[in-house]
Amino acid sequence: MDLDNPEQQPQSQVQVKFVTRDPEISVPTAPILVPSNLKRLGLSQVVNHLLNSEKPIPFDFLIDGAYLRTTLDSYIAENGLSSESVITLEYVRAAVPPKFLTSFQHDDWVSSVAASTSTQNRDSVILSGSYDGIARVWNLSGEVLCEGAGHQSAIKSVKWIDGDHFVTSSMDRSLRIWRYTSSSAVDASLKPVAEYIGHRSTVESLAVNAAAKHILSAGADGKVGLWSSVPKESPDAPVVDLPARTKKRKLAQTGPKVVQYGALGMLQSHTEPVSGVAFAPQDSTVAYSVSWDHTIRTWDLTTLALVDTKTTQHPLVSLCSLKTLNILACGSSARHIVLHDPRTSAAGVSAATLRGHSNAVVGLSANPANEWQLASAGHDGTVRVWDVRASSSGNLFTINRESDGVASNEKVFDVEWSSVGIVSGGEDKRVQINATPRE
Amino acid sequence: MAKSNIKKRKASSREEVVHSDSEDDFQTGLLNGAINNEDEESDEENHSSSEDEEADEFPEVAAASDEEEIDSDEVPSSSEEAGEKSGDDDEEEDEKDEEEDAEVDEYGRKTVLDSAGNLRYIYPEVDTGYASDDSDREEMNTIGNIDLSLYDEYPHVGYDINGKKIMRPAKGKALDALLDTIEVPKGWTGMLDKNTGGDLQLTREELEILRKIQMDEVPVDGYDPYTPTIEWFTSKTEIMPLSAAPEPKRRFVPSKHEAKRVMKIVRAIREGRIVPNKPKEPEKPAFYDIWANEVPREDHIMHIPAPKLPPPTHDESYNPPEEYLPTEEEKKEWEENDSEDRAKDYLPRKYNALRLVPGYDKFINERFERCLDLYLAPRVRRNKLNIDPESLLPKLPSPQDLRPFPTTTATIYKGHQGRVRTLNVDPTGVWLATGGDDGTVRVWEILTGREVWKVKLSEDETVNCVKWRPTKESAILAAAVGDDLYFLVPPIFDPETEIESKRLLDHGFGTAANVQQDPTKKTPPGKWSKPMDKLVEQGVPVMVTVKMTIKHIAWHRRGDYVATTSPEGQNRAVAIHMLSKHTSQSPFRKSKGIIQRAEFHPFRPILFVATQRYVRSYDLAKQELIRTLQPGARWISSFDVHSGGDNIIVGSYDKRLLWHDLELSTKPYRTLRYHEKAIRAVKYHQGGLPLFVSASDDGTIQVFHGKVFADMMENPLIVPLKILKGHKVTQALGVLDVDWHPRECWLFSAGADGTARLWN
């Protein structure tokens, strides 16, 4: 309070209560008087003063689900509050705007990206799936460590299973498990381990639960596939009475012969293409799927049964579950992200709606470091960062494509927020990495 | 005073002569007093003398007047007698000549016997005693007012009073006349005396009279207008007056006469003959008031009082506050401006006193202009429609309540070179097929806009129509390119579907041969064959060749029949191809005009065929015409059948979009004219959403809400929702085709600008 100018009596003061959900930086919650003309910076100084921290931490302040961007005075005036009442200010570490790091040029549209977590003996690498049907592994300096060709059509989704394996899905209706081995930083090899067959149309999206050794796939045929991440535990591939393929097709089948396996189960209930799947964060036997048919369905993976169906207003095209909050974020073709609490029994209850994209939201990824934040990729050519606490404030940051000389409104197809940063790929044939420095 | 005395004497002498009846005397005096003012005094005396006897008696008016007449006859005046005598004079004179010798009697008259022997008196000539001189008169010409020239032939010029000729006065010789002219005698006038015929000469006196008349003087000689006044009566009071008689008693005794008159009036009032203070009868006015009985009436409905002039403001005052006075610049500007351009007609001026204000010189102008205003600007009462304009609008729900409907471009499908002619979404709703002017058919991933497959069917001909087979178990795309109808199986589906589709297509080759062997039948409209190997490899197993350019394809819902439309084809314009047997037939024997399009009913065996003006529906089972719709459009471009089967929308090249309710009428239920240019395509949403669109050459797509109610009594509700703009108009072509996603509220449009778009 006395930071500004002790001599000068502030014109008016308001009672505020500082609360936080982060125990590390908590301060006493008793209401204190602060000058009402303070903005974010002043309030941040107050909190730092209360914390007695040596190095000041920048804070952001949330009031009623929105970031405080004006003075307390004008906030009170705008919302018609009484200056006598105690204002509860939730303070959070201020998010640092992501910085463009690098981008990797591909031959074709990048449909999917995934970043591996770095371990002691290995730097994190970035896996990208492209519409040319090739999965590539990149190191952060932009070199292709290895390429995996084998899909007969465009790769739609890639996901790391663990540091050594990843799974890809393609428009050729199949999934592939790959083994990634890297002897050194520049030397690595890829080997397809297994091919999973069972979908009758494009496999749009994948979800991996390494602990349960399960893979979920979303098919455009309206089916959700449950696969084992260990090929040996998978059943045999269904026998299809395949006709003799034309010569050309045979030639197209490159790479080593891959053993085909079938699905642990095909969950069929959606009436339209399934666009996103996710495991429940706490319970590996529960899965969620979203589809163009407007529904979010909850599946019990042990019995392969449909548990719950929630119908929303719009076709849903992406899904991501926020782990600690147990909230499902669903991107829709109607240009917004709907936050659903899957536990509520009432059908179709949306917790909040994040609006800001100007086209379909096709990729979602939660911030691994901050449970409240998520990144979204939209067909409007932007990746946006959101804070679910401040659902009415709009997005925190907007990341545009950094491709030079190309129209900036090219679609972004996928985003993944990993320890590397925000990795996104899109129609501009690039994987773009935006570093998000830790607070 | 002297005169009054004389009169008095006269009066008293008369009293003696006349009868002593006092009543009569009173009346005579009264009458004389009224006629002669001279006798006023004597009358009064008469009154005073008679008043003693009858103070209370009032005389009868009528009786008195009778007696008066008698009295006057009794005393004839001498002048009357004289008149009578003079009247007889003429008779006497006539007889004078005959009876000259008669003797004169004692009266001075002559007694003569007339022819009858009767005695006759001749009176001597009366000497009137006039001092008149008749000598002039005798010489007077008595011809009267006759022109003297009539007497030119005669020696006389007229006759005197005795009838004797008056001879023309002797005229002198010419020398005399000359002398006369030289010596103008005194009083010569040069005029002819009418009476004598001689020169008219005026005497000195006559000339003097003339002169006086001319000079405005009194013509009588010797008249002095300025004679001193003779003071007959003086205002002086004489010390020794001629008569010192005291004031007579009557001067101060109440008048009995007046009392009588008063009594008479009083009696009359008592008897009621005179009504005092009788209310006066109102005078009849000379002019009657035509508006006297005017009843105030209501103003006529059309009466409009003249608008009032605004009251004067401060700056119109003679002594306005300083702030109202114009500055020099304003004054200058005002003076420089034309009177029409001035904001005000006047310039505020200040006068220190009201008496210094000059006369207002523009008063007449102002009044005149006001009159002109009132007269030249007729005031008309406008009949205001007291209707809330909102209430006239149909009660349409707000578009916000009718969501979802497409609003923005979500994806642009780029790749076609040239126009994108046609597009169609596959029944699973995942793939979009387009066909364009470059002869290619392309299949796209809907959301991402990725082209997943393409095949070039023709080098120089456009793909006019693509349509997916409407069943989910197969993936067959029919494409019309020029005269050919291709059946494509894009290799993007799973092998089972692909095999099934190819099997369906190839199945008919065996049966088709059998049919063709029948030579009696006419050649079918379509010839089924396998395309080139290259195309077969690419996934085009079968093609049908029709003789005419195919413009439109319609699948039957079961997927076994395809109807193609070739507008140039006359009676073979519509051909129905059977997929399972590879046969083709044309259902119509006669052409009914240029056929634009043919569509199957969504669930009944009915075929709708649109010619340029009409849409006909045919029962395929009974093979008969059911109904002819008359949209009223000049050239139908496209139509679509609602999924309920009872409604049709028709788009026309003359910008009209027509909604037909088949149950209602053959005329359109609604005509929507919102496009600026020709409508190219219309489409219902077939997946349950109450939406339809029209695409036009003006580059816009208009989205409508069109709800068809299950209740037959309720008419469809049509609400315009959104105009989608995005396609560029190239070569006067805008949006060429539209299609809906089978379930979602996603709209696809094919533009002449080489792109297809997804709207959501």
A200-230 pLDDT tens trace: 889 999 999 988 899 999 999 899 999 998 8
Residue contact A360–B410, C-beta within 8 A: yes
Name the band, by pLDDT with cuts 50, 70 and 90, for residue B271. very high
Asked whether residue B326 carries a pLDDT value surpassing 60, the answer given is yes
Please identify, among A74, A93, A112, the residue that sits at the C-terminal boundary of a domain.
A93
CB-CB: which of B448, B493, B537 is closest to A413? B448
Q: Are residues A245 and A211 in the same domain?
A: yes
- Confidence (pLDDT) at B23: 42
Q: In chain B, what residues touch A362 (CB-CB under 8 Å)?
A: 447
For chain B, how many structural domains are there in total? 3
Q: Are residues A65 and A36 in the same domain?
A: yes
Q: Are residues A75 and A112 in the same domain?
A: no
Please identify, among B376, B394, B423, the residue that sits at the C-terminal boundary of a domain.
B376
- Confidence (pLDDT) at B96: 45
More confident position, A250 or B401: B401
Residue contact A201–B496, C-beta within 8 A: no
Q: Are residues B346 and B442 in the same domain?
A: no
Specify whether the CB–CB gap between A265 and A278 falls below 8 A: no
Asked whether residue A23 carries a pLDDT value surpassing 90, the answer given is no
Mean pLDDT of B197-215: 83
Boundaries of domain holding B464: 404-759
Place of tokens 């009466």: B303
CATH number of the CATH domain containing A38 = 3.10.20.90
A394-413: string of b/e by CB count within 10 Å (b at 16+)?
ebbbbbebbbeeeeebbbbb
Mean pLDDT of B292-307: 85
Residue contact A248–B537, C-beta within 8 A: yes
CA of B494, closest CA in chain A: separation in Å? 5
Interface with B, mutate which of A200, A239, A249 (most B CBs under 10 A): A200
Please identify, among A75, A93, A111, the residue that sits at the C-terminal boundary of a domain.
A93
B577-606: string of b/e by CB count within 10 Å (b at 16+)?
bbbebbbbbbbbeeeeebbbbbbbbeeeeb
Residue contact B430–A293, C-beta within 8 A: no
Residue ranges of E strands in B148-280: 156-159, 165-167, 188-192, 199-201
Look at residue B636 and tell me if it is in a domain: yes
The closest of A155, A172, A154 to A114, measured between CA atoms, is: A155
Please identify, among B131, B152, B169, the residue that sits at the C-terminal boundary of a domain.
B169
Q: In chain B, what residues touch A314 (CB-CB under 8 Å)?
A: 404
CATH number of the CATH domain containing A117 = 2.130.10.10
Which of A63-77, B22-36, B239-253, B544-558 has the highest average model confidence (pLDDT)?
B544-558
Asked whether residue B58 carries a pLDDT value surpassing 70, the answer given is no
Q: In chain B, what residues touch A199 (CB-CB under 8 Å)?
A: 494
Q: How far, in Å, CA of B238 to CA of B242, rounded?
A: 8
Q: Are residues A66 and A108 in the same domain?
A: no
Look at residue A5 and tell me if it is in a domain: no
Residue ranges of E strands in B344-418: 409-414
Which chain B residues touch A if contact means CB-CB below 8 Å?
404, 408, 410-411, 428-430, 445, 447-450, 452, 492-497, 499, 537, 743-744, 746, 760
Name the band, by pLDDT with cuts 50, 70 and 90, for residue B279. confident
CA of A356, closest CA in chain B: separation in Å? 14
CA of A377, closest CA in chain B: separation in Å? 13
Q: How far, in Å, CA of B57 to CA of B39, rounded?
A: 25
Asked whether residue B117 carries a pLDDT value surpassing 80, the answer given is no
Tokens, residue B135: 């000598």
Least confident of A340-349, B229-238, B283-292, B430-439: A340-349
The closest of A294, A154, A300, A143 to A222, measured between CA atoms, is: A294
Q: Are residues A376 and A264 in the same domain?
A: yes
Mean pLDDT of B88-99: 45
CA of B501, closest CA in chain A: separation in Å? 13
Q: Is A131 on the interface with B (CB under 8 A)?
A: yes
Name the band, by pLDDT with cuts 50, 70 and 90, for residue B332. very high
- Specify the amino acid at residue B662: L
Q: Are residues A365 and A422 in the same domain?
A: yes
Name the band, by pLDDT with cuts 50, 70 and 90, for residue B351. very high
- Proportion of chain B above pLDDT 70, given as a percent: 81
More confident position, B39 or B478: B478
Q: Are residues A331 and A391 in the same domain?
A: yes
Look at residue A353 and tell me if it is in a domain: yes
Q: In chain A, what residues touch B535 (CB-CB under 8 Å)?
A: none
Q: In chain B, what residues touch A248 (CB-CB under 8 Å)?
A: 537
Asked whether residue B696 carries a pLDDT value surpassing 90, the answer given is yes
- Confidence (pLDDT) at B268: 92
Q: In chain A, what residues touch B760 (CB-CB under 8 Å)?
A: 333-334, 360
Residue contact A273–B429, C-beta within 8 A: yes
Mean pLDDT of A180-195: 82
Q: Are residues B713 and B594 in the same domain?
A: yes
For chain A, how many structural domains are there in total? 2
The closest of A129, A149, A127 to A139, measured between CA atoms, is: A127
Least confident of A27-31, B54-58, B668-672: B54-58
Look at residue B249 and tell me if it is in a domain: no
- Confidence (pLDDT) at A7: 45
- Specify the amino acid at residue B154: Y
Q: Are residues A85 and A108 in the same domain?
A: no
Look at residue B429 and tell me if it is in a domain: yes
Q: Is A413 on the interface with B (CB under 8 A)?
A: yes
Q: Are residues A73 and A107 in the same domain?
A: no
Q: Average pLDDT over chain B, rounded to whole?
A: 80
Q: Are residues A270 and A176 in the same domain?
A: yes
Boundaries of domain holding A53: 13-93
Asked whether residue B130 carries a pLDDT value surpassing 70, the answer given is no
Q: Are residues B437 and B339 in the same domain?
A: no
Mean pLDDT of A227-251: 67
CA of B750, closest CA in chain A: separation in Å? 20
Mean pLDDT of A63-71: 80
Asked whether residue B6 carries a pLDDT value surpassing 70, the answer given is no
Name the band, by pLDDT with cuts 50, 70 and 90, for residue A29. confident
Name the band, by pLDDT with cuts 50, 70 and 90, for residue A241. low
Q: How far, in Å, CA of B178 to CA of B320, rounded?
A: 96
For A114-163, give the DSSP string.
EEPPPBTTB---EEEEETTSEEEEE-TTS-EEEEEE--SS-EEEEEESSS
Look at residue A4 and tell me if it is in a domain: no
CB-CB: which of B411, B445, B537 is closest to A379? B411
Specify whether the CB–CB gap between B110 and B97 falls below 8 A: no
More confident position, A255 or B445: B445
CA of A201, closest CA in chain B: separation in Å? 6
Q: Is A61 on the interface with B (CB under 8 A)?
A: no
Q: In chain A, what residues touch B537 (CB-CB under 8 Å)?
A: 246, 248
Q: Is A240 on the interface with B (CB under 8 A)?
A: yes
**pLDDT tens-place string over residues A363-413:** 999 988 888 889 999 998 899 999 888 877 778 888 888 766 555 678 899
More confident position, A83 or B398: B398
More confident position, B673 or B242: B673
- Confidence (pLDDT) at A289: 93
Interface with B, mutate which of A130, A333, A362 (most B CBs under 10 A): A333
Mean pLDDT of A260-269: 90
Q: Are residues A289 and A145 in the same domain?
A: yes
- Confidence (pLDDT) at A3: 46
**pLDDT tens-place string over residues A122-155:** 778 899 999 999 999 988 888 888 888 888 889 9
Look at residue B749 and tell me if it is in a domain: yes
- Confidence (pLDDT) at B104: 66
A-chain residue closest to B411, CA distance: A379
Please identify, among B360, B376, B392, the residue that sits at the C-terminal boundary of a domain.
B376
Asked whether residue B638 carries a pLDDT value surpassing 80, the answer given is yes
Q: Are residues B420 and B349 in the same domain?
A: no
